[in-house]
Amino acid sequence: MVIIGAGKAAARAVVGLREFGWEGPVTLIGEEVHPPYDRPPLSKAAIMADEHPEPVLLLDEATMTSLNAQWIRGRKATAIDRAGKTVTLSDGQAIPYAKLLISTGAKPRKLPMPGAERALLLRDHEDCIALRQAFSPGVSVAIIGGGFIGLELASSAVKRGCTVSVIEALPRILARAVPEEIAKVVAARHAEAGVDIITQARIASITADAVLLEDGRRIPADILIAGIGASPAIGLGEAAGLTIDNGIACDEHMRTSDPDIYAAGDCCSFIHPLFDRRRMRLETWRSAQDQAAVATENMCGGGKSYLAVPWFWSDQYDLSLQIAGVPADGPTIVHRPLKDGAFVLCHLRADGTLVGASGIGPGNSVSRDIKMLELLIGKQARIPGDVLANPDTQLRTLLKG
């Protein structure tokens, strides 16, 4: 069994193959010199740490040794020979496989304009260290893109004493990710911290120390960061002739168009039985983990379908934002108030089926409700809006219905 990639999905896959009974060789191929490590801290905790941060390892060398897994580090997989069932590495070595898992993740999109070559990106630990060194008091930081990564970096930069501007082309931040009611709370918290959020902004040009907008405004930018999303790393799969559809296309078993090749994590799309068998791609920590568990069980001879309800979180200062399911599928939104100004929005289809939940509040104030709603989404529960809106409703009691 061979795994290409060394992120969350890959780490879970190494463990999963042993968990599901595979006793043969396991090989993990990673471009970086680090063992598999956690990515979410890169935009937050690692930048804010008092001491020089080390990667938060998901699998260390000792664990991989105990699992009898071979770790090939610092070398890139350059080609997949499906007929010969081998993976070629950047040094020319060919690694044979019986089953293959592609977990190459996604790569940050670059800005397509002159001057953008100086924009910093965040994908790996080295990028994090570069940003950490750049964030110092008095430095002006311009972040292009008002999505989660851009906003998390804005929070870290302003905490380190930088003057921070977020430049967003759409009318509001997080436009594709959360309802407007939640986006307003996030925007207000950033404004309170001193971040200048500029929406409906059109960039005219980028200079050595500023971003010039079409309306004539000049945004200081000693440091420029591109946070305009990521693209699935499909190069290997595409070159090997695998079907591509918003990522390496998988079925509900995380199997690609080649029955001996599976994929998991940000690099792939898949069929989700819970959501009208729609093809979707998820760039979330938990999804990478869950997909890898399904893929490895099936690589070992199982027939498991991916049925996990999507779940995502983001920390914005003292606020925790959590999302479960697919809120965009629910046109009816029910506001559920909680303590300390926290709230959860429940997203219902026309027939009353709960398909999504999104919430925000200080600390862990929304965690319990989001978890219960996640379970209800998994049951495809139909719940009256007035029941969900009542803060006295104990959501766990609805699971018995």
Q: Are 201 and 213 a contacting pair, CB within 8 Å?
A: yes
Q: What is the band of 401 on the pLDDT scale with cuts at 50, 70, 90?
A: low
- Where do we find the tokens 């970096």? 153
pLDDT digits over 59-96, tens only?
999 999 999 999 999 999 999 999 999 999 999 999 99
Burial class (CB in 10 A: 0-12, 13-18, 19+), 63: middle
| Two tokens, residue 294 | 């399904």
The predicted model scores a pTM of 0.95
- Per-residue tokens: 167: 């430049």
| End-to-end Cα spacing for the chain | 43
Regarding whether 196 and 277 lie in a shared domain, the answer is: no
Range from 44-48, 297-301, 330-334, 360-364 carrying the lowest mean pLDDT: 44-48
Region 165-193: mean pLDDT is 96
- What letter does residue 6 receive in the DSSP assignment? -
Angle, in degrees to the nearest 10, between helices 180-193 and 148-159: 20
Q: What is the pLDDT of residue 50?
A: 86
Question: What is the CATH number for 101?
Answer: 3.50.50.60
Query: Which of residues 226, 259, 276 is at a domain's end?
Result: 226
User: What tens digit of pLDDT does each residue of 185-208 get?
Assistant: 999 999 999 999 999 999 999 999
Q: What is the pLDDT of residues 241-250, one digit of tens each?
A: 999 999 999 9
Domain count of the chain? 3
Strand 248-249 and strand 268-272: pairing? parallel
Q: Where are the alpha helices (DSSP H) in 244-366?
A: 285-299
Please indicate, yes or no, whether residues 274 and 348 belong to a single structural domain of this protein: no
Which of 299, 329, 355 terminates a domain? The answer is 299
Q: Which two tokens stand for residue 109?
A: 């999109």
Pairwise CA distance, residues 273 & 259, whole Å:
20
- Among the residue ranges 111-115, 309-313, 330-334, 368-372, the one predicted with the least confidence is 111-115
Residues 86 and 235 both lie in one domain:
yes
Q: Which of 207, 226, 245 is the last residue of a domain?
A: 226
Question: Mapping DSSP to helix (H, G, I), strand (E, B) and coil, where does residue 134 land?
Answer: helix
Confirm if 299 and 271 have CB atoms less than 8 A apart: no
342 in the same domain as 288: no
Q: Does residue 274 carry a pLDDT above 70?
A: yes
Q: What percent of the chain is modeled with pLDDT above 90?
A: 97
Residue 400 banded pLDDT, cuts 50, 70, 90: confident
Per residue in 329-357, pLDDT (tens digit) is 999 999 999 999 999 999 999 999 999 99
Spatial separation of the C-alpha atoms in residues 160 and 136, rounded to whole Å: 6
Q: Are 244 and 270 members of one domain?
A: yes
Cα(92)–Cα(90) distance, integer angstroms: 5
Residue-wise pLDDT for 251-273, tens only, equals 999 999 999 999 999 999 999 99
| pLDDT interval class at 112 (50, 70, 90) | confident
d(CA 122, CA 134): 13
Residue 169 has pLDDT above 80, yes or no: yes
> Is 14 within the bounds of a domain?
yes
The tokens 């050595």 sit on which residue? 208
**Using an 8 Å Cβ cutoff, are 167 and 201 in contact?**
yes
Q: List the Cα angle 350/356/361 in 5-degree steps.
A: 130
Same domain? 286 vs 234: yes
Report the SS3 class of residue 59. coil
State which residues form the domain around 351: 318-398
Q: Are 26 and 14 in contact (CB under 8 A)?
A: yes
